[in-house]
Every structure is written in C-alpha cells, then in structure tokens.
Amino acid sequence: MDTKSEIREFLTSRRAKITPDQAGLPTYGDNRRVPGLRREEVTLLAGVSVDYYTRLERGNTNGVSDSVLGALARALQLDDAERAHLFDLARSAQTTASPRRRFRTRWAAHNVRYHDTGVKQLHHLIVGDLSLTFETMQLSADDGLVMFAYTAEPGSKSAEALKLLGSWAATLDQTDGTPDQAETVPATDGA
C-alpha cells in the first residue's frame, strides 16, 4: 500500500467514526449515504474548503501546513497517537515517491496508539537474555517526561537473572563500589 492510499484510508476511517451528533452538528434526516461525517461536515469543522479537503483525502498532502493538519485532527477528534500518525503520514507522503510494500489488515485499520505497556527483550553481558514487562508512567512534575518500570515474571529465568544482578550489585556496595583490583587490573609479563 502506498502513502497516498494510507492517508486516504486513515482520513476516511476517522471520518466514519464521528457522527454529526458527536461533532455537534445538526442532522437532517436519517438518509445518510456514508457512515459518520460527510466531507462537507469535516471541512466546516476544520475551516478548510471542500476541494482542499478532498485533495488531502485523496492523499495529496503537498504543501499542507501543520495548522491545517491540526485543524483536521480537532475536527476528526483524533487522540494524541492518531494526531501524531496523521502528521507522520503527511510528512512521509511529501518525502516518498515510490510505493511501499503491502503495511497488513491491522495496519490498514489505522487503529494507532502509544505503546504504554509491553514486553522488552534485552541481552545483558553477564546474565544473558532477559524478557521484561514494561509500563510507562507520565511524570506530572515535568511535561513530556516519562518513567519506565521493568519487571520480570515471578519464577521465570529473567527473574532469576535479575536476582543475580541484584546480588552482584549488593556485593559491590559492600566494598568500596568497585570490583576487586585483581578483577580489573590486566595481567602483565612481570614488568
């Protein structure tokens, strides 16, 4: 699927999810040919012309400004992840000339979100492979700062590896905080 198709499908799928009632618009009768908002209703909410929006919905984002994209995001009631996705699609359409590989059904649905939880695979030089569950927490003191908390499944190989790392760190703390001299000084040829 190429970038123009992705933009078209994303905008039409987001437009279909908003009803005129949700957007605060009057409805005239029950005979609507499209689910959700019509193009004209989106343009009314975003403050752009129908021709301009139609061009954008067809994937032609050449010269589109951030303010127009922001207005569309507000009109379509996009969340932060969807808004970021719209901006990313617009940027990639302006820099990509060749079609991309065909992105799967899930990707085509354009249900985007931030990944606040998940599983991270790591390799530690001492204990080997670790599989850790992570969760992000927004720090309210400073906007934009995020703290990640990593945990291992109790009783798992990763949990045992973390215990080993913890005991190793505790051993270092009981000394002066550095490994023994014999471990860090390379052997010499009697010089």
Both tokens of residue 35? 């689910």
What is the length of the chain? 191
- Shared domain for 92 and 41, answered yes or no, is yes
Instruction: Pick the closest to residue 54 from 108, 12, 111, 99 (CA basis).
Output: 12
| pLDDT, tens digit (0-9, with 9 covering 90-100), for 84-129 | 999 998 888 775 444 445 576 666 777 777 778 888 999 998 889 9
End position of a domain, from candidates 109, 125, 160: 109
- Shared domain for 87 and 144, answered yes or no, is no
Question: For residue 143, what are the domain limits?
Answer: 117-182
Is 190 among the domain residues? no
Both tokens of residue 170? 């505790």
- Shared domain for 88 and 126, answered yes or no, is no
CB 44 within 8 A of CB 67: no
End position of a domain, from candidates 109, 126, 158: 109
Asked whether residue 186 carries a pLDDT value surpassing 70, the answer given is no
- Tally the domains of the chain: 2
Is 187 among the domain residues? no
Q: Where are the alpha helices (DSSP H) in 34-154?
A: 39-46, 50-57, 66-75, 80-95, 105-109
Q: Which region holds residue 171: left if phi is over 0, alpha if psi is between -120 and 50, else beta?
A: alpha
The pLDDT value given to residue 182: 41
Determine phi and psi for 120, rounding to 5 degrees: -115, 130
- Shared domain for 13 and 90, answered yes or no, is yes
| pLDDT, tens digit (0-9, with 9 covering 90-100), for 3-50 | 888 999 999 999 999 988 888 888 776 777 778 898 999 999 999 999
Asked whether residue 73 carries a pLDDT value surpassing 50, the answer given is yes
End position of a domain, from candidates 109, 142, 159: 109
Burial class (CB in 10 A: 0-12, 13-18, 19+), 157: middle
